[in-house]
Structure 1
């Protein structure tokens, strides 16, 4: 039987207030997805103090890198990965942790960027993840072109799917079936953001396979 772990992600820092809001309204997350970089009006960057707070409350951290606005070209893909690696090292994120590139559905995406992200992460202490929408936007075509061009993409990259959106739920009422949308080619789709923009707290709700959960920190 597939073991699933439930958690949330947020652009806002995990404070006592936000954590209590999630606990009261949704349940205790197994993990919390957080962005590595501070971007004005977009995301609070993860801090060492926040990592300690998350760990002290019995959760793992799912690191997300979002300091880019399009995913085009090999050079840009390698630069994004190097910047993510630098931030991860600054925060003491342990080797073997997956770091997810935040590729939004409205981004321009090409196969060269995906290959460079995967190769650069693969040659670092960290592992390549990509948050993306296989249903809307150009990711599906770009990913499958990258998969056909470079074996590392299919072997090493893990996809965190943004579809389908079923709506946020409590931990107890999370989907029992793990049915994230997948690219049209083979892909390791191990996480699913099934609910976005909860009304009660500024979070999204996420399910992931235990094999990914074990490679968070």
Structure 2
């Protein structure tokens, strides 16, 4: 059983064959790549952007960039981390063009069976997810990229290393520093401040309860 989260042998071989066909100019081969990875990449885009329409645009841009750059891709390297890196770069560029406009994460469903789950708890957890998303957007591009690759795209450390073309040890040290920066942003209340300035439904300090 493959428990590392990395692609199994048959998938790697199929990717290798598809890449070689793409490099030979076969557009149909890239359609196979799109069909194989569209869902997982789209999920990452939605998580990062919180908007399905924007996620679709980012995904299309990423695949166009992938097709344009696949001639220089090494077929013996894993394909998925490379595609994820292209997508994440496009998304980070979109964020910077919008000056860190609030990008709420979609609200993940809470466990129905949990006795603690209620409207207040659900709202609080949704608020925390949004605050993390905004704090992440405030990080430097390199720090945001490595956090997204590891935790949003759920790549293994080895896959992140492949995507960034650095040793696994470098990934570990960069990830540690990035998480420290993210923690600092959260402690400073970066996410909360930006959310309050953009979201009229956000709780205001000192606001009386009805």
Question: TM-score higher than 0.5 here?
Answer: no
Please tell me the TM-score bracket, short chain as reference. Answer: under 0.3
TM-score normalised by L of structure 2: 0.25
Q: Say which structure is richer in strand.
A: 1
Q: In terms of Rg, which structure is larger?
A: 2
